[in-house]
Chain A
């Protein structure tokens, strides 16, 4: 199946700094990618839809100035957590759907665990 890769898989940063997480579709093109956040013992929460060449669409309650999303190419989307605080510590997961896929499934990355000290 299609592969989605995230980097870094784990990151620790100090409070107040910014952290960038990359999401790449390795063997397919993805016009649309999705970013999720997952806290311990909870389900995945959709944060935003990343659209290649245009602005991301954020879910209600997600601060767009806090979580900057850039989808500069058909294989790369980035999520930047700006001025990170301990409450931003979470498991961030991206997913992508092949642009011309007829099957419809979304492929997920391995996730990036952010710890803010």
Chain B
């Protein structure tokens, strides 16, 4: 599975959009981009995933560049409860596809 690069930490003001970048320059054509987050001392929570089209759900939007070498997770109106470590992961789709976690971005939402 391809590696990803994310900033170590980011701050965001409450109510503003949080834009979390991720580089995955070695991604293969059959690898999806997944985003998870982990709030302190809890298991990771699925946020969103995509292959090449932009995706949106009730939690966030995922913007993938045309060359698929990078993506951005957007939390449109960040709240204090969005403070967490956000992980960007690329993996092959399928029942055996493993999730290999990198270091992630520690997002702090401040009042």
A residues near B, CB below 8 A?
Answer: 1, 4, 6, 31-32, 34, 36, 43-46, 49, 91, 93, 95, 97, 99, 103-111, 113
| A-B pairs with beta carbons under 8 A, tally | 56
Is B96 an interface position by the 8 A CB rule? Answer: yes
Given contacts A43-B87, A43-B102, A44-B101, contact A111 B43 (CB under 8 A): yes
Q: How large is the interface on B (under 10, 10 to 19, 20 to 34, 35 or more residues)?
A: 20 to 34
Known: A44-B101, A104-B34, A113-B41. 20 other contacts (CB 8 A): A1-B46, A34-B98, A34-B99, A43-B101, A43-B102, A44-B44, A45-B101, A46-B100, A46-B101, A91-B41, A95-B44, A97-B95, A104-B32, A104-B49, A105-B46, A105-B49, A107-B46, A108-B36, A108-B43, A109-B43
Is B103 an interface position by the 8 A CB rule? Answer: yes
A49-B95 Cα distance, complex, nearest whole Å: 11
Encoded as 1 (CB less than 8 Å from any A CB) or 0, chain B from 34 to 78 comes to: 101010011111100100000000000000000000000000000
Interface residues of A, dominant DSSP: strand
25 A-B contacts (beta carbon < 8 Å): A1-B46, A4-B43, A32-B95, A36-B101, A43-B102, A43-B103, A44-B101, A45-B101, A46-B98, A46-B101, A49-B96, A95-B99, A99-B95, A103-B49, A104-B32, A104-B34, A104-B97, A105-B34, A105-B49, A106-B46, A108-B45, A109-B43, A110-B42, A111-B43, A113-B41
Neighbouring B residues of A109 by C-beta, 8 Å: 43
- Nearest CB of A to B34, in Å: 7
Given contacts A93-B43, A104-B93, contact A43 B99 (CB under 8 A): no
